[in-house]
């Protein structure tokens, strides 16, 4: 394999897929990023068997091939290279050469054929939503997903499609966050639970453009997000999600309407004297 990149393009690609690289694993190949120059572009992939991210990086391909490089080392090397073109080459051995300007590194590599490929999903069951809307829906609900894994379902978010509406919901036993968004088309009903880790990464890497769309494909065990030149595939959390309607009956003793900014300002002032370790409530 012989390819060369603009450093910025390569670094952006690495930063995206490294989020799916495992840091604690007994399989060394999962600590790597796959470079696949077998088509007319170079695809970078990270895969920890629960979450996989693949993105396309512009490059000049002199000779095709596949190789896998330790993700942490690869990222650190490219970050420290001069702001010039980056040349990467690998032969039949177990090393790869990375050079730019007067800097040159020869580092261990693994056979790209040993890298775990992303599961192939049928793309029949899907929805389409703007990048901006999906990013906002996740941002406005993900804080209610549980951080610990005592209850696996609580660490994820419910994605429910009914006709032309997408509902995302999260709860941790103390709070519930729900966000609805009307879709441009009607779709078949579906309900899945997506890991919070996946959605946190989606929120970070999705550009959030109002004019560009995300295609979300639903499978039996996986969910796939496609936007731009990037694919994010995740395992789903098994199990029946909680009955949110039963928790939110709508039968309130008191209901008030507040100005949002005034309310958040009051809360910001109220928590100044509360230490995070105290976990004391604010009395309304």
- The pLDDT of 55-65, averaged and rounded, is 95
Under the banding of pLDDT at 50, 70 and 90, the label for residue 279 is low
The correct CATH number of 2-114 out of 1.20.1260.10, 3.40.50.2300, 3.10.150.10, 3.90.25.10 is 3.10.150.10
Name the superfamily (CATH) of residues 126-246.
DNA Polymerase III, subunit A, domain 2 (3.10.150.10)
Under the banding of pLDDT at 50, 70 and 90, the label for residue 209 is very high
Where in the chain are all domains bearing CATH 3.10.150.10?
2-114, 126-246
SS (H, E, C) the chain: CEEEECHHHHHHHHHHHHHHCCCCCCCHHHHEEEEECCCCCEEEEEECCCEEEEEEECCEEEECCEEEEEHHHHHHHHHHCCCCCEEEEECCCCEEEEEECCEEEEEECEEHHHCCCCCCCCCCCEEEEEHHHHHHHHHCCHHHCCCCCCCHHHHEEEEEEEEEEEEEEEECCCCEEEEEEEEEEEEEEEEEEEEHHHHHHHHHHCCCCCCCEEEEEECCCEEEEEECCEEEEEECCCCCCCCHHHHCCCCCCCCCCCCHHHHHHHHHHHHHHCCCCCCCCCCC
What is the value of pTM for the model shown? Answer: 0.90
pLDDT of residue 262: 93
Whole-number average pLDDT of the chain: 93
């Amino acid at each position: 394999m012989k390819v060369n990149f603009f450093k910025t393009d390569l670094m952006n690609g690495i930063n995206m897929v490294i989020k799916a690289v495992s840091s604690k694993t007994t399989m060394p190949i999962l600590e790597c990023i796959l470079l696949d120059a077998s088509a007319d572009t170079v695809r970078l992939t990270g895969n920890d068997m629960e979450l996989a991210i693949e993105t396309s990086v512009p490059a000049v391909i002199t000779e095709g091939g596949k190789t896998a490089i330790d993700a942490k080392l690869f990222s650190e090397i490219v970050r420290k290279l001069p702001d010039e073109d980056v040349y990467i080459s690998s032969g039949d051995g177990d090393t790869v050469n990375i050079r730019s300007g007067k800097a040159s590194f020869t580092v261990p590599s693994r056979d790209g054929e040993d890298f775990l490929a992303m599961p192939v999903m049928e793309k029949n069951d899907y929805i389409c939503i703007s990048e901006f809307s999906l990013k906002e829906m996740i941002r406005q609900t993900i804080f209610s997903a549980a951080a610990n894994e005592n209850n696996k379902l609580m660490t994820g978010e419910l994605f429910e499609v009914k006709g032309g509406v997408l509902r995302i919901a999260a709860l941790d036993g103390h709070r519930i966050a729900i966000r609805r968004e009307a879709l441009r088309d009607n779709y078949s009903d579906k309900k899945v639970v997506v890991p919070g880790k996946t959605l946190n990464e989606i929120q970070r890497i999705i550009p959030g453009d109002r004019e560009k769309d995300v295609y979300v494909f639903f499978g039996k065990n996986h969910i796939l997000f496609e936007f731009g030149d990037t694919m994010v595939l995740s395992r789903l959390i098994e199990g029946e999600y909680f009955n949110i309607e039963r928790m939110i009956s709508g039968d309130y003793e008191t209901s008030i309407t507040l100005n949002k900014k005034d309310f958040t300002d009051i809360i910001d002032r109220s928590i100044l004297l509360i230490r995070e370790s105290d976990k004391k409530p604010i009395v309304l």
